Amino acid sequence: MRLGVLDVGSNTVHLLVVDAHPGARPLPAHSHKREMRLAELLDADGAIGPEGIDTLARVIADAVQAAEDKGCEDVLPFATSAVREASNADEVLARVREVTGVDLQVLSGEDEARLTFLAARRWFGWSAGKLLVLDIGGGSLEIAYGIDEDPDAAVSLPLGAGRLTGGWLPGDPPDPLDVKALRRYVRAQIARIVGEFSRLGAPDHVVATSKTFKQLARIAGAARSAEGLYVQRDLSRRSLEEWVPKLASMTTEERAALPGVSDGRAGQLLAGALVAEGAMDLFGVDQLEICPWALREGVILRRLDHLAT
């Protein structure tokens, strides 16, 4: 069957169309993406304004039409941090439903972490042992740990690359004092939850998902995406520690010229690097592997599991 998963995230609205059935690997068939940066549309009261709501509804309507054009039997729509934390989330969801007929499911941060963990577990298999999974989005950082398909611990922290860039790093390039303050804040937030994971023992394998980690691995020397999904891509803490001060001294335009860094994500890359570095340091991770699958694949896999029962 052909399924569409519609991800309304903090940075983009992304429709992923896959051919899938229970027991088989979902095969990507089409991708429809529109950059929105919802996290940056929040006003002083934490609400998404009328113009932002209308734009979001139009973008979702376009994505639904694309899913229909590609022959999707069903579309699985969900929203993450930006909509979840908007003070007028109910208004946003009602307007989207009115304009498009789409009933967005708002995932909790823990749901995000659990579904991303499921995707990583299916990708790496049981032989990977105890997994620690890190995912940096536009609005939040998800961390999950476990030996089964459902993690033993899963948390979400408000440490998304877009959120932190907008709130802490106004300069281009950023003021060194702002970078230092953000670094201190990020590490304090992560340190609060490290103990919850440490008591479960050391992981056998540490993996990371998300565009932020993929771009950081790429500038640190990992293979290009054009070389395929099955090429192993790693990121070491040593490489990250070397790159953070370089990124801090660069303008957004200079970061966009780095290999694998998109124009739309270049402004957020430093904040994402500070979160990645802090997480790897505080969790004692010297090296991690990039996982090609993440939240969208987790949503698809969960749906296929339900179809099989």
Q: Where in the chain is the domain with CATH 3.30.420.40?
A: 2-106
Residue with tokens 């519609």: 6
- Cα–Cα dist 238/74, whole Å: 44
The yes-or-no verdict on residue 61 having pLDDT over 80 is yes
**pLDDT attached to residue 23:** 85
pTM, to two decimals: 0.95
**pLDDT attached to residue 309:** 66
Give the CATH architecture of domain 109-295: 2-Layer Sandwich (3.30)
Encoded tokens for 3: 């399924």
Give the mean pLDDT of 94-119: 97
The residues, ordered by sequence, that sit 6+ positions from 185 with a Cβ below 8 Å of its Cβ are 168
What are phi and psi for residue 246, nearest 5 degrees?
-65, -45
- Cα–Cα dist 250/248, whole Å: 6
Of the candidates 68, 94, 98, the one whose C-alpha atom is nearest the C-alpha of residue 79 is 94
**pLDDT attached to residue 176:** 98
- Indicate the class that CATH gives domain 2-106: alpha beta
Summarised one tens digit per residue, pLDDT across range 192-209 is 999 999 999 999 999 999
Helix (H, G, I), strand (E, B) or coil at 293: coil
Q: 179-184 long-range CB contacts below 8 Å, 24 or more apart?
A: 179/248, 179/270, 179/274, 182/271, 182/274, 183/274, 183/278
Rg of the chain, C-alpha, whole Å: 19
Give the mean pLDDT of 36-41: 80
Q: Where in the chain is the domain with CATH 3.30.420.150?
A: 109-295
